[in-house]
Amino acid sequence: MKRCLIFAGADIPDYSFLKIDKNDYVICADGGYFHAQKLGLLPDVILGDFDTFIGEAPENCEVIRYPKEKDDTDTMLAVKLALERGFLDIKIFGALGGRFDHTFANIQTIFYAKRMGADASLHSHKESIYILENESRLFEKHNGNFLSLFSYSEKSFGVSVSGVKYPLYEATLENSFPLGISNEIIENFADVEVKNGVLLVIYSKD
């Protein structure tokens, strides 16, 4: 299954972390097209209310326009389109580091995608954000990697973390207390598991 890459409109100061394959399906949410231009990418789709990008769309690119008064953010519209077209691996760029309300909406967007059966994540040059629900995931160590875990559900039960400086085993995290901040990865991989609940995992680069 091919990946879907979505570019949103927040600033991306460093593109060197991006790994793009020629087979990736690319959707630009409104001003996210500026990133595609800088990268020399021809997106498959540009969509949104076009309150940011007002130029000419490239030829051979699908354009979907929405009214400015709408319930969904442009990033959510891009995710919904990706889901409709059968993509279950969705990576979103340009969705972190801007206004906090937009960042929080983007976190809710990847949780929506999780509930729809897809693996969606947010990425910047400094961090990546994932949602884990009743599952486990490996995170590879690079120079200066840290994991922060938050319970996105009211409580998350059976939280275990290995390969880190402060391991956990069968812990319970609550969304009212920040217990899992900045745990350094000290082995080749960190293994994060939640048996019952929803974890927000932030994978940071120091």
In the chain, domain spans: 4-125, 130-205
Asked if residue 127 lies in contact with residue 39, where contact means CB atoms within 8 angstroms, the answer is no
Instruction: State yes or no: pLDDT of 151 exceeds 80.
Output: yes
The Cβ of residue 180 has, within 10 Å, a number of other Cβ atoms equal to 24
In the block, tokens 């938050």 appear at 150
Rounded to 5 degrees, what are φ and ψ at 45? -145, 140
Q: Which class would CATH give 4-125?
A: alpha beta
130-205 fold: Rossmann fold (3.40.50)
- At 75, which amino acid appears? T
Q: What is the pLDDT of residues 3-31, one digit of tens each?
A: 999 999 888 888 888 888 889 999 999 88
Asked if residue 193 lies in contact with residue 135, where contact means CB atoms within 8 angstroms, the answer is yes
- At 13, which amino acid appears? P
Strands 89-93 and 119-123, bridge-based pairing: parallel
Q: What is the pLDDT of residues 108-122, one digit of tens each?
A: 999 999 999 999 999
Can you tell me the distance from the alpha carbon of 114 to that of 91, in angstroms, rounded to the nearest whole number? 12
Q: What is the CA radius of gyration of the chain?
A: 18
Can you tell me the distance from the alpha carbon of 154 to that of 176, in angstroms, rounded to the nearest whole number? 8
Same fold? 4-125, 130-205: yes
pLDDT of residue 206: 65
Q: What is the pLDDT of residues 52-100, one digit of tens each?
A: 766 677 778 888 888 777 788 889 999 999 999 999 999 999 999 878 9
The Cβ of residue 72 has, within 10 Å, a number of other Cβ atoms equal to 16
Q: How confident is the model over 162-184, as a mean pLDDT?
A: 93
Beta strands in 12-101 (DSSP E): 25-29, 45-48, 62-65, 89-93
Can you tell me the distance from the alpha carbon of 13 to that of 36, in angstroms, rounded to the nearest whole number? 14
Asked if residue 28 lies in contact with residue 82, where contact means CB atoms within 8 angstroms, the answer is no
Question: Which among 43, 50, 44, 47 has a CA at the least distance from the CA of 80?
Answer: 47
pLDDT of residue 1: 65
